[in-house]
Structure formats: structure tokens, C-alpha cells
Structure 1
Amino acid sequence: MEAFSFATSSDLDKLSVHVRIDRLDGHQRPIPYSVLLKRPDLRHRASNINPHSELYVTAQIWADSKPLTVPVQTAYKSFKHARVWNEWLSLPVAYSNLPASAQLAITVWDLSPAEATESDLHAVPFGGTTIPLFDKDNTLQRGRQRCRIHRHKAADGLSSTTTPWVIPPARKERKSTVAEDTVDEQVAEMQRLEELLKKQEMGDIPQNQWLDALLFKRMMKIRSDALRAEAMAQSRQSKSYLKETNGDAQNETQGEPDDELFYLDIELPRFDHSIVFADIEYPPPPISNIKLDTDSGVLHRPPPEVSFGPGINISGYEDAMAGRLIRIYDPEIGMKDNPAETKHLRLMRNQQTDSLDRDRKPNVSVRDELNAIMNYGPLREIKFKDRDLIWKFRYYLTRDKRALTKFVKAVNWREPIDVRQAAPMLEKWAEIDIDAALELLGPSFDHPIVRAYAVERLKKADDDELLVYLLQLVQALKYEAGGEGDDSSLARFLVTRAASSFTLGNFFHWYLMVEISDFSDDQAPEHRDLFAKIEYDFMFELEKTPEGREKRNTFKRQGELLAILTKISKDIRFSREDRLRRIAHLKKSLADPKNELIAIDPPLPLPLDPSIHITGIYPDDCNVLKSSLFPLILNFKTTTNTKYPMMFKTGDDLRQDQLVIQIITLMDRLLRKENLDLKLTPYHILATSTQAGAIQFVPSTTLSSAVAKHKGSLLAYLRANNPDDTAPLSVRKEAMDTYIKSCAGYCVITYLLGVGDRHLDNLLISPSGHFFHVDFGYILGRDPKPFAPQMKLCREMIEGMGGPNHANYREFKGYAFTAWSTLRKQAGLILNLFALMQGANVPDIKVEREGVVRKVQERMWLDVEEEKAMRDFERLIEESKDSWIGVGIDLAHGFVQNVWRK
């Protein structure tokens, strides 16, 4: 099948519909005097007086028998030898707004001084035609079109139009005359030549000026003869029909001949590619979130009974109404508050029952209900009856820190009465955890009192803990109602804390700079202005600190360093040299004194890791990786006389990788709190713009390289780098423990995050046994390869443990179960962090912003009991271990990579 290049009509959102009115050709018969005696108004029509009278044309777009636009008309023009307008008309509608049934109704108007019965403008229709803008294949028509004019009719534009632009040929009788066959041949020849002329105008046939001029004269002669012959044939058919039906009187009564034939030549815009109709995809209607119980009979209620008054005749009513009962779906049910329930809550909370509620205590059954509500996840909506219950026992619940977020959801913060009663309750509540504070900063809570309370809880977190959530807190600024001014409590808090800590300020500054530089359609201009305002406030706040000017100068120097690296990276990336010459180019650029990279004085905190102070770079110790984007490997000099390797790349948005590494860092922190060190490698990564970033380079090798070097055995790689003849499998115990633990940790984490596109080239292992993942281009369940296993546990990884029957494999599963159970208990914190990222311009989050949190929650199986969850998780591990699809993916990827390298 040949390639077909096309564009969609929805892409033409700024281009209005145009049509060029070219010329009118046809044959007009003189009106007999007998007709003029009966219709004296015909002698005043311009077309009957002069064959080249001043007609004008109107065009209007219709669809589904309804006009879409007002008509537009041609300017006045005086004709001498032929009716040629050669004028483009612009209709007030864009191509993107056209439906598939759009038609162009074109009417040629004649002028008459006598009052016209059809209009008050002294204009009568000379003829009309209707042409669809999209053909039967839903492709936009383009180029020259020859439209049949229906005499004395205005173009109607209806779906079943009476003025079609092309009249299908009538089926011939068995007895056909030689004259009719001749006419058909002439018309067919004329149509063939017009199709060839149209192809030449579209560029499909080359032009030859002198030969084309001769051919065009001949074509005009053929067109004139064919038009005259077709008109004569039509006249013969008309006379024959009148003779058969004795309709001669009818034609005289009409007073207008019907055997006249006219064609209007128009031209539609030409495009480089075909334009295929594509409708706008509107968002689906909201689905009710009301979940009926299984024993509910709401859906099974019979139709309502109709009662009639006495004396009303109801005979035949049941038959007439049979099958006419229509159930209407109301999308507001479950999505908006029920007015009756809202009124009930307002009345209940207006009552002076505060003194009674203070001493109210739940009984055993109510306490069980409240405990069940407290266990709701962050995505669970609070039902009406639950809100009523929470409000009634609000004083009792103040001792339970889990209940605060449920209480906030139970309050209508748009009702002043509710706010007046609920606001003082927040200060009386038990201190909430950090995950609850993050939930209150999400998009669902916009009241300043609630967000200010959450910020007060964040103030108690230290800098290390705040740094873990800083990426999400910057995104939470989008949900601040007063974010653009000084009313944003979160913005004031972040600016103050970032100004007092250089590490916080370093990442806060670069997170803001990336958002400011995002000029994509997915970044709202008001959000870009918001981040610019906060960056200005941050710099202003720095000026107030003793070392503020020095810190500002440091950020400026960091920006200059990244600008130089970005330029060098782009030059090497777009260079057409081979890899060796690219490396030489890199070394020369790094050593160039103009770039000032050999010696950096005073030492500069590295933006990727501000705890590292660099004093220069090693130009000879650098490299260019063999990849499509040709990332750079750089080695910086540090104040501790050690090398700090870093990868720098352009042409890729690293914000998604940055998010995944930040979540891995958080999970590592959570596991360590439970005394579970799984030897994870959360290396540093920082997006410095939407198309550039830096990555900490960890000395390691891919699993594919390690296996290939050691004859298909990862265990041989571990044994070669950590030999110990006295240890099991001849691998040093510390290295084997590190490998087993890191495999377990990354298997669990990558499954929870739905990391896709896993193959042996983005699974890495260091000589010390640390196993880790890189390249997080697909997350949240997305994967470019079909039917990929949910967990990446390949046979090479298991072989490195000693095989599936070795004790190391059972130890691996034990670590995986413990990590799985620990992270499930912290589901609220993880889900709230993803909820704060819903507005971020991360590729896999933009695919379905509303479903981001739900995708992560589905992989945590929160509705399943712990014991069953463990059994299901073990089954998942075994299925991934035995997955032949994963083996096929690794083989296919390895084959493609080998072909590419060659």
C-alpha cells in the first residue's frame, strides 16, 4: 500500500473557507414574443436584454439543511464579452468548524427594475447550484470545479438538494438515436479535457507554455460545441416530453424556457496534501459517581403509574403509550451536590446544637462506621450520609488525626455559615501527618483557610524532608487561589524557606526556571506569569539575607555554566561528524579559554548537587555516548580533589525522569525508616529547561553488556568483580546481598510506578552489585511494546542470584514482600504526591491527568486484604519470572540495537 500524506480539517483552525467565482458559460434561448405578451416583466430582466448583463453571485454554507453562515456576494463588475468575475470570496467560518455534511450553495442573481416576487431587492435568481465541500471519502474538494446551474432556481443547500452541482446521467433507453450518442461523446470529451486541465493546475502534469496556449484555445472550442450540443439535446427531450403530456400550455404559462444550459466555473483552495475531515473530540459527559449497593432496587423499579380523573376516557391509552417511556441520563447526578441534601445540611448546621455536639459520643455501631470512613483512601468521595455523620461527631473525631481530611471534605467551604463553624475546629485537631498536609494542598481544596492550615504543618518539617516534596510543592502553587499576589501562604512559605537554605533555594530556583521556560500549549500563560512572580519574590527575599547577593551571583554563574554546556551539547548533537570527531570537538570546546571551564574560581556549587563544589573540568576525560541525542559525559574537578562524573544532554525533557527518581528517593527514605535498606541507587537528575538537563553518572554497565562479556552469565560478572572462594557461589557476601536487595527494591518500585519499555539496555549493574533502572520514558502503565509483563524480572536477573531454586531467590522474594507491604502502608503519601503532579507538563501525566492517581492506586491493591495481597503479589512475581513475552522483547531489542550499531 502506497504512503498517503494528508492533513485533518481540524488543523485548519485559523483558515476561513474561500471560493473563487470564475466564469459563467452557457446557452440562452431568446424568449418568444408570445411569452413576452403574457409576461411583460420578463422584458425588463437584464439577462433577457443583454447576453452579457451584469449578474452577481452569492455564496453561503449550509449543513444538515440549515445555513451555517450569512451569504457573501461578488462586487459589481461590468462584462463586455463574457461573464467572468475571477473574484475570491471569503466565508465567515473556518475549515476546522465545518461538519462533514457542509455544502456550498451558490446563486447567480439577475436584475430587474420591476418588483420581484421572490425578494424585495429587485433581484431574481438566474440560477443556482449546490456543491458539497467534502466528497464521498470525506476529503475536502479542491481546485477547479464545474457546477451545473439550475435555471430560475436559487440554491437551496438542503441535504436532498434540488440544485445539485452534478446531475447523474439518466439511464438510456434501448432505442437511442445517433444524435444522442454524439452528444454524449462530446460531453465526455469535454469532461476528460477538464479533468486533465485540473490535474495540470494541481501540479500532476508538467506545463508547456506555447503548447498549452494552443490546447486551451482548442479546449474552449470543444467546450462551446459540447455545451451547445448538450443544450439542443435537452431541448429535444423537453419538447418530446411536452408533446407526450400535451404540456405546451404549461410551458407557456410558466413563461420561462427550461431547455437553457449553464455551467459556473469555481475554484476551491489547493493544499499540498489532501485534507481529510476530522471532527473535534469533545470530552465525554461526566459519569455519575454514585455507587448503588448490590441489593439496591433503584434500577429495577417499574414505570410510574398514571392516574386519570373520573370521567376521562382512557380507552386505548395503554396501547398508545406502549414503549414510549424514556429514561433520561442526568450527568449531574453524582457529580454535583443534591439541592435537597445541601438544604438539609444547611438547616442542620444552622441549628444551635454546638453545645450538644461537644458531648456527643458514638455508640458501638456508629464507631465502626466512623472507623470505616477514616480508612477511606484519598480518592474516595465522602457520601452525604457520611458527611452528616462526621459533622455530628466532629468534636469526638478531633483526637483522630486521620479524620481531619475527611472533616474538611464534609464541609461546604462555599457556605459562610459552614466556614464560620468549621474554621475554629482545625486548630483543635490532633496534629496531622505530612501526607495529610500534602492532600490539603491538592487541586480539590482551594479555600485559603484550609491551605494555610496545611502550610502551618509543613513549617514543622526539616529541610531534608521538605526537599523530598519540593517538586510537588512547586506544582501545588498552580492551585493557590491567590498565587499571583501576596495572599498565597504556600508561596510565602516556600520563598522564605528557600531563602534560608542554599540547597532548598538551589532546587527551588531551577524548578521555577524550568516552568518559566515552558512555552508549550500545555503551560497556561497565567501559570508561567505566576512562577515568574514567585522567582522575583525569591530573589527579592534573598537580598534581605546576609549572603543574599552572593547567592544570587552563584545562581547567575550556574546559569552561565549550563548555557555554555547547552551550546556545546547542541553543536555536537547536530554535527554530521562521526563519533570520534565529535569527542575531539568536545575536548577542544571544553579546553577553549573562552568557555572558562578549565578553572572555576571561586568554587561553584553544582546545580545537580549543590553539596558538590566544582573548581574546573577535565577536558581530556570526557566522552560522547553512542545514542540518538549524543549525551555528553563530563568529569568535574571538586574541592575534595575527586572527580564528579555527570551526563549532560539536550533535546530531551527530563522532567519525567526527574519525577521518577524523586519518588524512588522518597520510597528509599520510607523503607529506611522501617530499617529496610534495599541498596537503591537514587542518582541525582535535574531538568534545567524543557529540552536539557543533567544526570549524575554512576559507573556501571548494562545487563546486556555484562551478560555478553561473561558468556551469558550475570553471576559470572558478579564473581569476576567480587571473588570469594569461601562464599556461596564464589561471590562476596556483601556484593550478593546488595544485588539481591536492589533487585527486590527496583522490582517493587518499578511495578508500582508502572515503568515500561524495560529491556536489558536500561537495566544497569555496578561492580559492587548495585542493580538499578534508568531511562523512564514510559511510566504509569504505558509501554511501547504490546503485552509486556507488569514486572521486569528476567531470567538474567534470576541467574545472577543462583537460579530460581537457590536460597538467594527465596531471600529476594522475602525482601520484595516486605518492601511491598511497607509501601502499601504509605499509599496515602505516594498518592497525594501524584495528585499534586496532575497539572505538571510531564508526558505520561498529560495523557490522562484525571487518571494519574487512580493508575498508581490500582497497582497497590488497597481494597484487598494484606494476606490475599501477598498471595497475589507472589503470583505476579512468578508470572513475570516465567514470562516468555519478556524474553522475546529482550531478544527483539537486542537484535535491533545490533543492527543499529552496525
Structure 2
Amino acid sequence: MEAFTFASSDTLDYPVSIRIINLEGAEAPVPFSTLIEHPELRHIGSNQSAHSDLYVTVQLWAGSKPLTVPVQTSYKAFRAERRWNEWLTLPITYSTLPQNARFAITAWDLSPTGSKDAQGHAVPYGGTTLPLFDQDNQLHKGRQKCHLYRRRQADGNDDSRTPAFLPKKKMKRGEPEEKEVDELDRMEKLFKKHEMGEIQRVDWLDQLVFRGFEKRGLQSARSNMRPAKPQDAAQSEGQKDDGEPAALPGPSNIVLNVELPRFDFPIVFADHEYPPPPVSSYLHPSSSQSNIVLKPPPEVQLGPGINATADDDEGYGGRLIRVYDPEVAAKDNPAESKHRRLVRGQHRNGILDKDLKPNAKVRDELNLIMAYSPTHTLSPEEKDLIWKFRHHLTRNKKALTKFAKSVNWQDQSESRQAAQILGKWTDIDVDDALELLGPTFDNSAVRAFAVDRLRKADDQELLLYLLQLVQALKYEHISPQPGQEVTQDSSLARFLISRAANSFTLGNYFWWYVMVECDDKSQDQGADNQAIYGKVAYDFMTELVKEPGGQETRETLKRQAEWIAILSKISGEIKESNESIAKRTERVKQFLGDPKNELTNIDPPLPLPLDPSVEIIGVAPEETVVFKSSLHPIKVSFKTTSGRKYPILFKTGDDLRQDQLVIQIITLMDDLLQKENLDLKLSPYKILATSTSAGLSQFVHSMTFQGITSKYRNNPALAYLKQNNPDSHGPMGLRKETLDTFIKSCAGYCVITYILGVGDRHLDNLLLAPDGHFFHADFGYILGRDPKPFAPAMKLSKEMVDCMGGSGSEHYRQFRQYCFLAYSALRKNCNLILNLFTLMANANIPDIKLEPDKAALKVKERFHLEMNEEDAIRHLERIMDDNLNALVPVVIDKLHELVQAFRA
């Protein structure tokens, strides 16, 4: 079968257009006798001049109804011929066209007396109806000759009386007229192929053919202009014998030439497939839990003869028809709803419920339910069991989130009793409080209970979750309408504003997190989101002024914004300029050193937005560096009040919120590991997004593994560390503390990047500091995404293992032990990490917004909670061994090195 290529019309998102070229042909003039009898005809423009001014209107019809408003050509004053040569664009695209779409094209003349179909002073000169698709459902393209029906307006109906293409007339064999018509039709087809490029062009030969065809066409036109009988002449001009206008029975000799857009491939009609009807917004009354899984359709066992065919003797003549119901997966099964009401009715107001205790079997079942992860969906039976023993479970802090999921908050009586029980519950952990602030729980009593738990956290702990708590404001009952304080609507907003106003560090980060949300104008967020965060920012500033020293804090935040604006200006100019790196660097140095920009001497000292504990007093322009990457980030060093210098990277044109999230999670995991007495020497650099397209990051003095391998030959990482930390008495000629730092930090980052699914790992984003701290940079791909095929699940390069002494050394065994300990410790705190990712579902972070409802599930997969601790560690061991012996990571690193060398 020969290869063929075509496109479907439903994918053609291109406006429908048509070019009106000219009118071709001639007709006999109106006899004077007719003009004497009907003097109104002499006022029609086309009866006064063979080249009178006309205009053309085009309207799209389908199903005998207009699809669009008509569009018309501009005014043209004709001299020799009626030629418009003008493209008209209709307000509709090809992708939305039905199969029976057609152009209704009418040429309009002018007459002061009007006529039957006149529109004001415009009377129809002639009309034609051109279908967009042919009999093979292919879109017409190129030039088209449309027969014009004189004195008639194009009707556009499916059974049009003004068709552009006529059926071929039957003539007697041997007549010269038949041969002439056949030859003209054949030439027309060849001309169209020549115009479409299907016939090779030969200029001198083409000119001869064109002239011959033109003469032949003129002769044919003259032969058709035979003198007509008086009666026929009157009818040909649209008049009956009594002088009244009459409709012509057929087309005239006038032809309208039009042109349709040309496409490289045939366009075949394909009906637009609409998305399935939306699932009802009526939610499952008892579905107060995250990641609601739609119920699968039930398996129906049909009885004998019910689903029989018409030929079946036992049947009743026909199969059952299945009708799609969009609410079948969202609404409760009525039988299950009634069962739930009956079950809970027994244990709603019972006196004995408070003293009801589970037996050993039920206790084990409850303990199993309490161990479920936050993403687990409770079954109706499990919810009923939790409700039955709700008073007994008030002493279990892990049971509160499961209890909140089991309550039907739409039932006023049940929700009222549940709110009373919340007041008796024991103190819960922070991870459970964060889960209650997620998108699933919208009851104000539940969210207020979670906020009360957060009040007990100190500022340092609150800072670890502040990014997610700002995102949780999207799930509060905050009205975007102006004129009402946000603090009246949301207990979480009141809490965050109060704590941020009393702590400068919290207030600094809270302010910038909120400012980024106000700056997010993407369609994913919407205007309401900006209005909500705008109200939060206003209320924060109002509360800040009420506090002692609040006015100074407000001025400091304002100065920070001005400082960011200055850096953004020079960064944007450098990014857009086409100068060399040396000229760009010199330009930045001059800008920073200019006293007008107020960066050489910052007085009073300004707390750095990236790290408020650091106060800067001025810039060191001589240490400025502009990097070669596409966005050309700028490294700027600032003098601090402590006498040291603090280098930062400022980048414009990139959204740093995903990197900011990963660094925050790494910082949190480091805190969790240290609580388990496991210090893995992690050194996550600070990063802060100041808008959706700019941000700051801390610059750590280090060297990429790519740079180390190009500088040192054998065992490059070890050679680099030896040069900076030599010790002849230490292991492998290296200071013991340095090697220990390297081994621990490698273990920590290997496990953390595996859990977060960090992708696009190569030697250019693996960095090593002189003191042995190993760390990752550039988190553009997370949650398992990777631009390279067959990428390993964990990045454990040969250079890292060689620096430890090889895979058989004692140091490598120690590294593996640290990995196992870190993985085991983080699995114990998986609920906290999963809840943080759930709160970020609507944060407009690239790799999360691809599948917002699956972000937490992707992290959960890496924890392997279905395994016990021993099996999970064995699984991690297999991943490390497979990566160590795999060839693909080595090939990827080599290819990346070649690409970077080629770019350089």
C-alpha cells in the first residue's frame, strides 16, 4: 500500500478565509425596447456600464442556517474588468466546521429603485453557493470557478438553488459544442494542477498555452452571446412579460473566480470530538478525604433472557441500552447512604457510646487503619468502625485525621457532634495538623483545631512549613470581594499574620511568599487568587504597624523591594543584550559601582531577603561575575556587618519556585534526620523566589564534578579534596573530618534526591565544596521526570564511589549504612512529607501542576510503605547496586560532556 499523508479538519485551528478574485464572462445588453417598457431597469448600475462598481458578501451556512455574520469586500472602482483580488476572513475556524458547511457568496449591484431582494439600495447582481467539502469529505482548496445566478441572492441551504458546481449537461454525440466543453473542462483541471505545483513549470511553454486557452475562452463566450428572442431577453434580465421581476431558472454565463487557502496535505473532515460531560459537582457526602478515587462501574449479572438478542427465543426482542450517567461515580449509592444512616443512627446519641471499647480483634483492625498514609482512601466500613469507637479514639493522636475523614460534614447533626468531640481530643502532631489544613477539609471547626495545634510550634519549626501554610490559604473560606477583612474569614490567616508581625524572620519570608502569589497572573491561578493574597498582604501590613517597631519593619520590607527592583533592572538588561561576557561583566560592575543606584553604601544595614539574619552594608563590584548560561545569572558579593562577604546569584527569566520547594524539603529532611541523631552534613543553599520570573540564591564556593574531572586525571574527586585538605596520616592522604563529611553528605543527598525523584542528574549539577560537602543543584525535574531516557532512579556516580575507595572499601560500606539509616528515618516521617506535597498541589509549580492530584502519590511510591522496614532497605540496596553497575548513567554523563563542549 502506498504511503499517504493527510490532516483532519478538527485539528486545523486556522480561520476560514476566501479570496474573491474577479467576475469572468459576458452577457448580451438589455434591449432598448425592454428599457422603454421598464424604465426602472435603466437605473441599475450593471445596465448602465459593463464595468459598474459591485461588492461581494460572503457568509458561512450549515444545515440551512447561517453560521457567521456576512463579511464583504472593500470598495473598488472598476475600469476594464470587475476584479477585487481581496482575501476575506470569517470569524470561525476550520476545526469547528460541520461537514455540510458552505459559502453563500452574493455580488451586489446598486439601484435607487430597489427590487424584491434589495437591501436598501443594494440589489443582488448574482449569487452562488460553494460547499467547503467535496463528495470525498476533503476540503476544497485553490482556485474555484463558481457559476453565478443572475438577479438572485445566494441562499446557502443544503438543497441550494444556487449551486456553484453544475452537473455536466448531456449533449448529442459528435456535436462540436460537446467537444468544446470537454476540452475546456480538461484544460481547467490541468490549469489547477499546474497552479498547485503538480505539473512542472516551463515558462515559455506555459505562456503559449495560456494565450491559446484565453483565445478559446473568448470564442466560447462569443458563441454563447447569440441574440435572444424578445421574450427570452426579457426573462434573461429577470422580467416576466407583465414587467414583474422573475427568478431565473438556471445559471448565467457569468463565472465568479474565488481562491481558497492551500495546504500541504489534503484536509479530511473529522467531526469535533467534545469532551465527556463534566462529573457532577455534587460530591460524595462522606468523601472528606484526599485523592478521591471514582468508583468503578459495578459488575451487573443479567438474568436469563434479559440481555438476549432479537433472534433468541428466550429473549424479549432487543438488548439493554447502557446510558452514561456522569454522576454515577460522584454520588453515593442510595443503598449505602441509607445503610450508613442506620448504622450511625445507632451510635449517634447513645449513652453507652462513651464507654464503648473495642475487643482485641477490633483493636488490631483500628490500629491498622490508624497506620494508613494520608493518601489512603477509607472504605465505608472503616469509616463506620471509626465513628462507632470515636470516644475511645480521642486518646489516640493519630486517629483524629481518620475520624475527620469518616464524618459526614454535610449532616448537620453529625457535624455538630463531631465538632464537640474535637474539643476532647488529645494533642496531635504537626503533620496531622497540616493534613487538616489541606484541600480536603473545608469545615471551619476542623481547620481551627489544626491552627490551635500550630500555635504551640515555635518560630523555627513554623518556618519549616511556612511555604506550605501560605499555600493553604487557598483552601480557606476567604472571599475575594473587597471591603471585608480577610482575618474575619480565616483562622489560619489570622494566625499567620499575627506570628509574622511578631517575628521579623517569619515576617520577611511570609511577605515574599505572599508577594510571589500576588505576582502570579497565570491562568492556573486566576484573578480571585491574586485578590485573596492581596487582601492578606494588606492585612499583614495593617497588623504590622500596630506592633512595637512595626513601622520600621515595614520600611525595611519596602527597602528590600527597591533593592530587588534595582538588581532586576540590571539583570534584565544583561540578559537581553548581545554583548560578550566580558563586556556584560564590566557593564554590571559599572552599574553596581554607580552611587546613583545606592548599592555601594547601604545605610542603615539591610537584612537580606534571602537570609534575614545577614545584614548587608554595601556591594563589592570587583567580585561580580556574569555566567555563560542562557539566562546569564549574575553573581554579586555584598559586604555584611560581620565583616564577611555574602555572595548571591540573581537570575531573571526563570521561575525558581520549584527549586525553592526542593531546597525547603531538603532543609526539613535535614532537621528530621538530626532529631534522629543522624547528622549527614547536609548543606542546602538558600533560595528565594522574589517573583514568578526572578529570584535569589546563595552562592556556595564549590566546583562541579564535571570541572573536577576535567582538571584531575585519576580519582578526580579525591585529588580535589587532597589538594584542599591534605593529611599524610589521614585515610587515603586526606583529613578524616573531610572524608567523613563527604561520605555523609553523599549518603544524605542520594537518599533525598531518590525520594523526591530528582531528574536530569549529570556531573554539571553535582557539586563538591573544598571542605568535603557534597550537594546537588538545579532542580528543574522532580517527581520522577527526566529528559533523558533510561535515567537511573538514584544518582551514584563512579567518581563518588572512587573517592570513597571503591565499592569494596570500608568507607563505601559506611556510606551504604548511612543511606539505610537515612531512608529508615525518613520513612518514619513520611506522613509529614506527603502532607507538605499535598498542600503544594495548587502552587503552580511546573512538575506538580502536570498531575496535581498525583504529586504526593509519586513521593509515596518512593517510600514503599507497603513493605516492612527490612524489605524497604533491601529494595534500596538493589537500586544502589543496579545504579553502580549500570552503563547508562556513564553514557549519559559522557553525552552531556560532549554537548556542553560543543556549545562552548
Please classify the TM superposition score into its range, dividing by the shorter chain length: 0.7 to 0.9
Deviations 1:367-404 (A, max 9, x none): 23322222222122222222222212211111111111
Contact 1:101 1:134 in 2 (8 A): no
Matches within 5 A, 1:856-867: 856-867=859-870
1:354 aligns with 2:363: no
Partner of 1:612: helix, strand, or coil?
strand
From 317, 320, 327, the equivalent of 1:332 is: 327
Matches within 5 A, 1:291-310: 299=299, 301-303=301-303, 305-306=305-306
Deviations 1:411-463 (A, max 9, x none): 22223222211111111112111111111111111222221111111111110
State the partner residue of 1:522.
524
Q: Distance in 2 between matches of 1:98 and 1:317?
A: 47
1:341 aligns with 2:361: no
> 1:810 deviation in Å?
1.4
Deviations 1:676-711 (A, max 9, x none): 111111111011112211111111000011122111
State the partner residue of 1:420.
416
Deviations 1:534-565 (A, max 9, x none): 11111111110110111011111111111111
Q: Distance in 2 between matches of 1:337 and 1:508?
A: 41
> 1:570 deviation in Å?
2.0
State the partner residue of 1:129.
129
CA spacing shift, 1:468–1:94, aligned 2, 3 Å: farther
From 557, 582, 589, the equivalent of 2:584 is: 582
State the partner residue of 2:288.
none
CA spacing shift, 1:57–1:546, aligned 2, 3 Å: same
TM-score norm. by structure 1 comes to 0.80
State the partner residue of 2:407.
411
State the partner residue of 1:599.
601
State the partner residue of 1:678.
680
Q: Distance in 1 between matches of 2:404 and 2:223?
A: 81
> 1:257 deviation in Å?
5.7
Contact 1:468 1:666 in 2 (8 A): yes
State the partner residue of 1:850.
853
Q: Distance in 1 between matches of 2:670 and 2:149?
A: 79
CA spacing shift, 1:627–1:49, aligned 2, 3 Å: closer
Q: Distance in 2 between matches of 1:142 and 1:315?
A: 49
1:877 aligns with 2:880: yes
Deviations 1:79-101 (A, max 9, x none): 9999889999886x542861474
Contact 1:778 1:844 in 2 (8 A): yes
Letter in 2 for 1:715: L
Partner of 1:129: helix, strand, or coil?
strand
From 785, 797, 800, the equivalent of 2:800 is: 797
Matches within 5 A, 1:237-248: none
1:755 aligns with 2:758: yes
Partner of 1:493: helix, strand, or coil?
helix
Partner of 2:688: helix, strand, or coil?
strand
1:376 aligns with 2:368: no
1:469 aligns with 2:455: no
CA spacing shift, 1:723–1:226, aligned 2, 3 Å: farther
Deviations 1:273-320 (A, max 9, x none): 99999968848977993678xxxx963734565499xxxxx9965477
Matches within 5 A, 1:637-652: 637-652=639-654
For structure 2, which runs of at least 5 residues remain unmatched after alignment? 31-40, 117-122, 202-206, 226-245, 280-290, 481-485
Q: Distance in 2 between matches of 1:587 and 1:77?
A: 61
1:631 aligns with 2:624: no
Matches within 5 A, 1:50-65: 61=60
Deviations 1:187-239 (A, max 9, x none): 5656777899999xxxxx9xxxxxxxx99x9899669638749989xxxxxxx
CA spacing shift, 1:840–1:259, aligned 2, 3 Å: closer
> 1:69 deviation in Å?
2.4
State the partner residue of 2:427.
431
1:289 aligns with 2:327: no
Q: Distance in 2 between matches of 1:8 and 1:557?
A: 56
1:401 aligns with 2:404: no
Partner of 1:413: helix, strand, or coil?
coil
Q: Distance in 2 between matches of 1:355 and 1:134?
A: 79
Q: Distance in 2 between matches of 1:602 and 1:110?
A: 78
Q: Distance in 1 between matches of 2:328 and 2:312?
A: 35
Q: Distance in 2 between matches of 1:666 and 1:171?
A: 88
TM-score norm. by structure 2 comes to 0.80
State the partner residue of 1:35.
none
Letter in 1 for 2:396: D
State the partner residue of 2:660.
658
Stretch moving more, 478-487 or 399-408: 478-487
Letter in 2 for 1:518: D
Contact 1:398 1:404 in 2 (8 A): yes
1:614 aligns with 2:610: no
Partner of 1:839: helix, strand, or coil?
coil
Q: Distance in 1 between matches of 2:851 and 2:421?
A: 36
Partner of 1:788: helix, strand, or coil?
coil
1:783 aligns with 2:781: no
State the partner residue of 1:246.
none
Letter in 2 for 1:409: K
> 1:651 deviation in Å?
1.5
Stretch moving more, 535-544 or 354-363: 354-363
> 1:409 deviation in Å?
1.3
Q: Distance in 2 between matches of 1:387 and 1:780?
A: 31
State the partner residue of 1:95.
93
CA spacing shift, 1:401–1:872, aligned 2, 3 Å: same
> 1:353 deviation in Å?
3.0
Matches within 5 A, 1:460-499: 460-482=456-478, 484=480, 485=486, 486-499=488-501
CA spacing shift, 1:142–1:482, aligned 2, 3 Å: farther
Contact 2:57 2:73 in 1 (8 A): no
From 802, 818, 831, the equivalent of 1:815 is: 818
Contact 1:621 1:634 in 2 (8 A): yes
Contact 1:60 1:67 in 2 (8 A): no
> 1:149 deviation in Å?
5.6
1:890 aligns with 2:885: no
> 1:500 deviation in Å?
0.1
Partner of 2:464: helix, strand, or coil?
helix
CA spacing shift, 1:11–1:549, aligned 2, 3 Å: farther
Q: Distance in 2 between matches of 1:481 and 1:717?
A: 56
State the partner residue of 1:744.
747
From 805, 809, 814, the equivalent of 1:806 is: 809
> 1:784 deviation in Å?
1.4
Partner of 2:794: helix, strand, or coil?
coil
Percent identity of equivalent pairs: 49
Contact 2:148 2:252 in 1 (8 A): no
> 1:74 deviation in Å?
6.9
Q: Distance in 1 between matches of 2:398 and 2:414?
A: 21
State the partner residue of 1:363.
359
Partner of 2:509: helix, strand, or coil?
helix
Contact 2:441 2:447 in 1 (8 A): yes
Deviations 1:254-280 (A, max 9, x none): 997667555434466899999999968
Report how many residues are paired: 831
CA spacing shift, 1:9–1:299, aligned 2, 3 Å: closer
Partner of 1:299: helix, strand, or coil?
coil
1:448 aligns with 2:452: no
Contact 1:7 1:273 in 2 (8 A): no
From 505, 508, 525, the equivalent of 1:506 is: 508
Partner of 2:569: helix, strand, or coil?
helix
Partner of 2:617: helix, strand, or coil?
strand
Q: Distance in 2 between matches of 1:452 and 1:288?
A: 23
